[in-house]
Structure 1
Amino acid sequence: MTLEKTVLYNVSNHACTVGGILVSADFKTIDENLIDFIQLEDEEIVELVHKGESEALDYLIHKYRNFVRAKARSYFLIGADKEDIVQEGMIGLYKAIRDFKEDKLSSFKAFAELCITRQIITAIKTATRQKHIPLNSYVSLDKPIYDEESDRTLMDVISGAKVMDPEELIINQEEFDHIEVKMSELLSDLERKVLALYLDGQSYQEISEELNRHVKSIDNALQRVKRKLERYLEVREFSL
């Protein structure tokens, strides 16, 4: 199955179009045909998507929609509609579904988290460059209001309560920067280059041509990146 490259998120009718498939944003209206996927692991569902199961794609979009919206809600860009950021997150989710390859040492969720967050950050940086706006014009709504020791954030003031659903926990800007620094220490020079080009939207073939490497070498590098990210996130969660 060849998935379309465009992911459209329509907030007015709370629906998402992925690969030409219209998906309701209300999980309560999920088709009965999708119930069977609940018993499967995400990695198994992604494999079904790759085999052409459109309903599997529908299910994953349903499952991760709040996760994407939670991440998008964490950022604000002056002069831009907040739903533009949501759409970028959906594009990141699409890339994760499209390109994930099952690996016993990594999970789809960790890979999706990386793709979604990086897509949002990249989009914001691109927008600020185009509009000649300083990068500090966008802020994380999870940043403490008063000082670094405060637990009260701008998001708390806006919503009146913290998000408690584990599926909606997000990486704010400071945490993301820390992960980027840590990953730069863990990754080899080739892995860093491959990851940067991949997250910039290039295909395996394009990356292999730019780096003058075989496509299999590019795939292996990304698999190593996923394993290292998975291990790091597991250690980070254990230490929190």
Structure 2
Amino acid sequence: MAFRPKKNGHAISDEELVRAYHQGDNTSFVELISRYLDLIDAKLTQFHCSGAEREDVKQEALMALLNAVKLYDPGKETRFSTFASRCVENSVLRSLQHRNTKKARLLSDAVSIDEAKEIAVQENPEDLYIDQEGYHVMLGKIEVNLSEFEKNVLFSYLDGNSYAQISTQFGASQKSVDNALQRVRRKLKTVFSK
């Protein structure tokens, strides 16, 4: 059972911790994570996540927990534990569904021509593993931090399409495409500089 900090001799409820977080107390979120890690692990086991996939999906589930804390409304008369459990479960299911799509499998297995040349030159299996792991971490960060439109624009741009081609492909103006790519650059710069 998780440690429950006390206030006036009584254990602090999840709802009180959420209120404290909303008032700027970030340590309350750390306490909520410790309380809900077992729930996250149980959901990952329930949906048969294992290996590297488990770690990626766990990160997304933690992001879902953070969103649950940010979005929780005590006025709706729903217990935080119920709300958080639903948010985490939906995140795990969405992540697994996305990972099982044909496009996601192709992206995760794809190697560019430049990467293929580099891999052919490398002889150390450890270097190959580290490169592959970095690639999966990068894809996970893209998945978590970019909107669906931003991801589509990014992948289309990386495929060599011009702004005009991308705008036609997604029915958006070239300015929208440019704005999306600018947001992608800012977000990824922030994410990868941490």
Shorter-normalised TM range: 0.3 to 0.5
Higher helix share: 2
Higher strand share: 1
TM-score, length-scaled by structure 2: 0.47
Which protein shows a greater Rg? 2
Larger RCO (CA under 8 A, 6+ residues apart): 1
